[in-house]
Amino acid sequence: MKDKKSFTITIYALNIIFAVIIMVPVLYCFSVSMMDLKDVYGGRLLPSRFMTDNYVRALQLAPFFTFIKNSLIVSGFITFAQVLTGALAAYAFAMMDFKGKHALFMVMLATMMIPSQAIIIANYLTIANWGLRNTYIALILPNAAAAFAVFNMRQAFLGLPFEIRDASLIDGCTNFQFLYKVGVPLIKPSLGALIIYVFLQSWNYYLWPLLVTDSVEMRTVQIGLGILTNSEGTDFRPVMAGAMLILIPSILVFIIGQKQMISGLTAGAVKG
Amino acid sequence: MKLKKWIGLMAGAVMAAGLVLTAHADGPVEITFWHAMGGVNGETLESIVKDFNESQDEVHVNTEYQGTYDDTITKLKASIQSSTGFPDVCQMYDVGTKFMYDSGAAIPVEDMFETTGYDKSTVMDVISSYYSVEGKQYAMPFNVSTPMLYYNKDVFEAAGLDPETPPKTYEEILEFAKQIVDSGAAPVGYSQAIYGWFFEQQLAGLDLCYGNNDNGRTEPVTAVEFDSNGGGEKIFQMWLDMYKSGYFENYGTTTADTQTAFFAGQVGIIIESTAILKNAINSSPFEVGTGYFPRFEGNEDGGVIIGGGSLWMMNTGDEAKENAAWKFIEYTTQPEVQAKWNMGTGYFAINEAAYDLDEMKAYVEEFPGFSVAINQLKDSPVNTYTAGVLSGVQTESRLIFNDLMAQVYDGKITPAEGVEQLASQVNSAIENYNASIE
Amino acid sequence: MQLKAKNPVFKAIEPYLYLVPALVLFALFVFWPFIKTIQLSFALTDPLGRVAKYIGAKNYIDILTNGAFVNSLIVTLKYAAGRVVFSIALGFILAIISTEKIKGKGFFRTMYALPMAISASAAAVIFMFVFHGSVGILNKLLGTHIGWLTDQRYALMAVTIVSVWIAIGMNFIYLTAAIQSVPVELYESVSLDGANFFQKHRYVTIPGVSPTLFFLLIINVINSIQAYAEVKMMTSGGPASSTNIVVYEIYQQAFINSRFGVACAESVILFIILIILTALQFRLEKKVTY
């Protein structure tokens, strides 16, 4: 009994320690974004008074609301497209038999191993030739499919019992009907993680949006952060404010996605 | 001479008239201007463009921020290759000059001088010489800076030093730094970022060239000279000695880190670009003093090279747009515009007339540190050393320098080895570059 | 629909139809440009990135014989090993301790997964300030005077810590999901056999989550070799190339030094290395998956 109690205490202690370690950088960022310059030079943990000047400054230097809107549109479409193209391909790889399956899967995985820096100029030329510069399509299309999404969903589909599919197909369900009516809902937990992951990856793009867009109306959040870091190299406060501004939408997406995951996780647990 | 000027003016008037006619027929000519100015500088730039657009109705300039200079040059290369999305005017950093020249994508601004009767002499020679290749001016300097010395007057006072007397040589800096640290006025006496630009400046101060063929000004550079002329080793050795003294702290290659340490009152003396003066005054809770870029004893009269960036007129093949681009570039060189730019950013005004304006005089009075910067520039002799090296691989050369200087500080290689490796790596980059543009 | 599903021709081509959207996009935006990359890797390129002349394998010979690229491979190896091992191990530990019967489980889980919601560049910006040599909070807290990002002895470690922090969230989420799907009966039966906490996880959890571990291993290896936002923002590969991971080296050659041919050759070599690494891991999977 005593053992069990000390074990529980250890678990709590570990959880609290890790949670603090992981959260402190974000909280600290928030804290610095409210500081005045003296607090920064004095190395304070908390601001002596809360001020919003740094946010005003960050918004003056870069129109973050426009950037956030664009990034939401672009990341949203990219995520949707990757899940769509990924689910289709993953379903074929996991649930169907066909010639060249293994080879095609390897070819797809190989796309993850090509450094994007090596192909970005060629892609720019393609987009420019198609007259798509400075459009949302230019930002979305080259990222509308990703091997990571295919691989991830393939693993999830492989985890499903084959009998479910066989039974559905015997009931007269087509493959496609099975995929969106049964398959996708069943892999919801890992889909939640995938959605967050893909969304965040596209939230992170810098060089590609910079290359294919010209006008401030089309730019995305990382360029906003770039404007701040390039011009405010010595004053971290507006930079931290900018970082907070672009963190908020992504954390919201995370919380929504995580709810999906957790409901999926518990659903799975009940069945298991 | 006089006649020529008259003809030029007449031609300019005729052209301007032609421009007015076409403009009135189809509304203002729209041109695109790429720049790399974020923050305060970006805001001032936008305001200048707005003034220009409102001052006349023939040309309308649309500004587009393109990230850092490195980002801008990447994007420019991509758009030159695809021949789409080309800007009409592009801002480019000093070390991008050779690339722009070799790319053939730009029209030398000097070509416009004759047809529009522009008086080249309004821009200070020491500034325009950087952007001249074989005697021809290719770009119009816009944001111009030089390095200078910054010091913390409060720290000087606390250390028992005269707050109005900055050190002039490295030898003096070392003395002052020792006194600052020993008196406990600040934990660190002196700092300078690891930055290839300072190395180039120091060579010019020693009246030495970085590259052969007169720093690439008469013919393209084919090899560096700082190894054979002894300048490289002298500078590396001095900096290492300072580092080893214990009064010098190295905050790495990011100049902003050195600035932050200075603003936070941890360092007594630093070297930085004149362009940060305004920020330094705003960010420092103490009084900032300024002095000339330090020299070696015996070379106190050496000059400085200008840095910063310039405006390039791109070859778009559309004459109306090219004329419009020039009109805008010409506007940016007016003393009033340069004064506004100077006061808004801390970059130099490129013409002497700007400093005679009342608002500039008031500004210099308000920020006396700035007169030091101006005088340092005016005192700089115009010669091949202060013209700076014209090389297509200067960005890479500075990166190689960063690597090797850090190794010298760490004692992994000696200054002589550092210079030797720097020379051989830069030479191989130059060789590669020259082969690729044959 | 019914009829279509039973049509033998349709049945034969159906699987490929599912692959078409992804494959078309890959062909246009990955394979085609990569073919150009391979072509350029045999060329001397002009400052614009166009072929000046073909020079055979010279780019390859140059990068393999001069120290910079080889050094960047070694740096990458250290960085990737640190990142993969620590981010998976920590993600696993967090998944286990937050699966125990405790109050506030949901809160802890949200905290652990949160770094996933923070983009690499935002994280880099935050940590740049934490690690800052003169005004950073880390030195203040530890009472040290270390240039975490500017001293060759510490910079790679600092960058690795940041990327571990970024990567923990995803590993944690996947492993939590995997642990939850391990049948409860298995734990009950080993408990009856008297297994302690560690034995329980050694004999039930690890085999149970091994497919997920395998997936995470592959993804983390690839991601850590491809990551560069942290390095670009925090150190630019310095000091003295001590954090010059290979992808940053490629970026620098292509976009700062304008040596596009060299960057392409480096990309091809990196691609080959990744293919070999992944193939080895797939082989490993066949051997160890339970």
Residue of B432, B433, B434, B437 to mutate, interface with C, max C Cβ within 10 Å:
B432
Q: Where are the alpha helices (DSSP H) in chain C?
A: 2-6, 8-26, 32-40, 58-65, 67-97, 105-113, 120-130, 137-142, 155-180, 184-192, 197-200, 206-226, 229-234, 246-251, 260-288
**pLDDT mean over B239-250:** 94
Q: Chain B contact for A133, CB < 8 A? A: yes
Chain B contact for C61 (CB, 8 A cutoff): no
Average pLDDT over every residue of C32-52: 93
What's the whole-number mean pLDDT along residues A226-239? 80
Is there a contact between A214 and B32 if contact means CB atoms under 8 Å apart?
yes
Whether C258 sits inside 8 A of B77 (CB atoms) is yes
Query: C184 or B131: whose pLDDT is higher?
Result: B131
- Whether residue C2 is predicted with pLDDT greater than 50 in this model: the reply is no
Claim to verify: residue B202 and residue B283 sit in the same structural domain: yes
Q: Residue A185: is its pLDDT beyond 80?
A: yes
Mean pLDDT of C32-50: 93
Burial B91-129 (b: 16+ CB within 10 A, else e): bbbbbbbbbbbbbebbbbbbebbeebbbeeebbbebbbb
Say whether pLDDT at B1 is over 50. Answer: no
Q: Per the CB < 8 Å rule, is A125 touching B67?
A: no
Asked if the structure places residue C107 within a domain, the reply is: yes
Can you give the CATH number for the domain in which B224 is found?
A: 3.40.190.10
Question: By residue range, what is the domain housing residue B285?
Answer: 147-304+369-436
- Number of Cβ pairs < 8 A linking chain B and chain C: 91
Burial C21-32 (b: 16+ CB within 10 A, else e): bbbebbeebbbe
- Please tell me the distance in Å from C268's CA to the nearest CA on chain B: 21
Residue C134's pLDDT is what?
A: 84
Residue C156 lies in a domain: yes
**B321 and B401 housed in the same domain:** no
Best residue of B194, B270, B436, B438 to probe chain C, by most C CBs closer than 10 Å:
B436
Side-chain-side CA neighbours of A246 within 13 Å: the count stands at 38
Of A15, A119, A197, the CB nearest to C116: A197
Q: What is the pLDDT of residue A267?
A: 45
* Record: contact A142-C18, CB cut-off 8 A: no
User: Out of A86, A115, A121, whose CB is closest to C22?
Assistant: A86
User: Across chain B, what does the average pLDDT equal?
Assistant: 90
Confidence of residue A1 (pLDDT cuts 50, 70, 90): low
- What was the ipTM of the complex prediction? 0.88
Give the model's pLDDT for residue C289.
52
Instruction: Give chain B positions within 8 Å (CB) of C48.
Output: 77, 80-81, 103
A234 vs B263: CB contact, 8 Å cut-off?
yes
Closest approach of C74 to chain B, Cα-based (Å): 17
C45 touches chain B (CB under 8 A): yes
pLDDT at B243 over 70: yes
C153 within domain boundaries: yes
Residue C288 has pLDDT above 70, yes or no: no
Considering only the beta carbons, identify the residue of A40, A210, A228 that sits closest to B75. A210
Residues B282 and B329 in one domain: no
Residues B52 and B185 grouped into a single domain: no
Record: contact A134-B256, CB cut-off 8 A: no
Asked which of A148-157, B89-98, C73-82 is least confident by mean pLDDT, the reply is: A148-157
| Residue A268 confidence (pLDDT) | 43
Q: Among all residues of chain B, which has the CA nearest to that of A210?
A: B66
| pLDDT value at C4 more than 70 | no
Of B392, B395, B410, the CB nearest to C152: B410
In whole angstroms, give the CA distance from residue C60 to residue C80.
Answer: 23
pLDDT at C168 (0 to 100) = 93
Residue of B nearest to C131 (CA): B257
pLDDT category of residue B57 using cuts at 50, 70 and 90: very high
- pLDDT on residue B418: 97
- C240 contacts in chain B (CB < 8 Å): 402-404, 406-407, 410, 412
Q: What is the pLDDT of residues B373-422, one digit of tens each?
A: 888 988 998 899 999 999 999 999 999 999 999 999 999 999 999 999 99
| Cβ atoms of B335 and B43 closer than 8 Å | no
Among C44, C132, C256, beta carbon nearest to B399: C256
Best of C51, C150, C251, C252 to mutate (most B CBs within 10 Å, chain B): C150
Q: Do A234 and B285 make contact, defined as CB atoms within 8 angstroms?
A: no
Domain ranges of chain A: 56-271
Identify the band that residue A2 occupies on the pLDDT scale cut at 50, 70 and 90: low
Task: Classify residue C34: in a domain, yes or no.
Answer: no
Choosing among A15, A31, A140, A271, which should be mutated to test the C contact, i.e. which has the most C CBs within 10 A? Answer: A15
Beta bridge partners of B224: B211
Select the more confidently predicted residue: B5 or C203: C203
Question: Tell me, what's the pLDDT at A266?
Answer: 47
Residue C71 sits at the chain B interface (C-beta within 8 Å): no
User: How many alpha carbons lie under 13 Å from residue C135 in its C-beta half-sphere?
Assistant: 28
pLDDT band per the 50, 70, 90 thresholds, residue B4: very low
Query: Across the interface, do B433 and C239 touch by the CB < 8 Å criterion?
Result: no
Instruction: Check whether C103 has a pLDDT greater than 90.
Output: no
Q: Which of A126, A203, A236 sits opposite C28 (nearest CB)?
A: A126
B69 to chain A, closest Cα gap in Å: 10
User: What CATH number is attached to the domain comprising C103?
Assistant: 1.10.3720.10
**Which candidate from A121, A129, A227 shows the least CB-CB separation from B65?**
A227
CA of A17 vs chain C CAs: smallest distance (Å): 10
Whether B82 has its CB under 8 Å from any CB of chain C: the answer is no
Give the pLDDT mean for C140-158: 92
Q: Report yes or no on C125 lying in a domain.
A: yes
User: Does the beta carbon of C65 lie under 8 angstroms from any beta carbon of chain B?
Assistant: no
Q: Looking at the domain assignment, is residue C268 inside a domain? A: yes
A145 CA: distance to closest CA in chain C (Å):
5
Average pLDDT rounded to a whole number, residues A103-130: 91
Contact criterion met (CB < 8 Å) for A226 and B40? no
| Surface of C (151-210) touching A: CB under 8 A | 165, 168, 170, 173-174, 176-177, 180-181, 183-184, 197
Looking at residue C23, its amino acid is L
Confidence of residue B20 (pLDDT cuts 50, 70, 90): very low
Find tokens 């649930």 and name the residue: A95
Confidence grade of residue B18 (pLDDT, cut at 50, 70, 90)? very low
Percent of chain A with pLDDT over 90: 42
Percent with pLDDT over 90 in chain C: 50
The closest alpha carbon to B399, from B96, B197, B255, belongs to B197
Q: Is C10 a member of any domain?
A: no
Q: Which residues of A touch B43 (CB under 8 A)?
A: 60-61
pLDDT at B293: 94
**What pTM was estimated for this model as a whole?**
0.90
Cβ within 8 Å, pair B80-C258: no
Which residues 111-150 of C are in CB contact (within 8 Å) with A? Answer: 111-123, 125-130, 132, 135, 137, 140
Contact partners, residue A192, CB within 8 Å, separation at least 6: A257, A258, A260, A261, A264
Q: Identify whether residues B354 and B427 lie together within a single domain.
A: no
For residue range B314-333, what is the model confidence (pLDDT) as tens digits?
A: 998 899 999 999 999 999 99
Q: Please state, in angstroms and rounded to a whole number, the distance separating the CA atoms of residues B376 and B378.
A: 6
CB spacing of A128 vs B84 below 8 angstroms: yes
Report the pLDDT averaged over residues A161-187.
84
pLDDT at site C203: 86
Residue A53 has what pLDDT?
92
Query: Which of C48, C47, C44, C69 is closest to C58 using CA atoms?
Result: C44
Give the pLDDT score at B81: 86
CA distance to A124, C160, C276, per residue, from A106 (Å)? 26, 29, 12
Biggest alpha carbon distance in chain C?
A: 76
Q: C254 and A118 in contact by Cβ < 8 A? A: yes
The closest CB to that of C256, out of B70, B81, B432, belongs to B70
Q: Find which of A104-113, A203-212, B150-159, C104-113 is predicted with most confidence, using mean pLDDT.
A: B150-159
B429 touches chain C (CB under 8 A): yes
Poorest-pLDDT segment among A170-184, B156-170, C63-77: A170-184
Assigned token pair, B307: 């840095």
Q: Is the pLDDT of residue B7 over 60?
A: no
Q: Are residues B225 and B196 in the same domain?
A: yes
Nearest to B252 among C44, C238, C241 (CB): C238
- Name the closest residue on chain B to residue C128, using Cα atoms: B257
For residue C188, pLDDT beyond 70: yes
C226: which chain A residues are within 8 Å (Cβ-Cβ)? 112, 115-116
User: To which H or E segment does residue A184 belong?
Assistant: helix A184-186
User: In this structure, is residue C51 part of a structural domain?
Assistant: no
**What confidence tens digit (pLDDT) does each residue in A52-95 have?**
999 999 998 889 999 999 999 999 999 999 999 999 999 999 98
User: What percent of chain B clears pLDDT 90, i.e. is strictly above it?
Assistant: 68
For C151-169, what is each residue's pLDDT tens digit? 999 999 999 999 999 999 8
Q: What is the pLDDT of residues B167-224, one digit of tens each?
A: 999 999 999 999 999 999 999 999 999 999 999 999 999 999 999 999 999 899 999 9
User: Do B270 and B325 reside in the same domain of the chain?
Assistant: no
CATH number for region A56-271: 1.10.3720.10
C-beta contacts of A141-144 below 8 A and 24+ residues apart: A141/C25, A141/C29, A142/A208, A142/C25, A142/C28, A142/C29, A143/A78, A143/A81, A143/A82, A143/A202, A143/A205, A143/A208, A144/A77, A144/A78, A144/A81, A144/A82, A144/A85, A144/C25
Mutation for testing the A interface, residue in B61, B68, B70 having most A CBs under 10 Å: B68
Beta carbons of C255 and B392 less than 8 Å apart = no
CA B207 to chain centre: 19
Q: Residue B25's pLDDT is what?
A: 53
Quickly state the pLDDT bin for A15 (edges 50, 70, 90): very high
Give the DSSP letter of residue B169.
Answer: B
Question: Which residue segment(s) compose the domain that C99 sits in?
Answer: 67-288
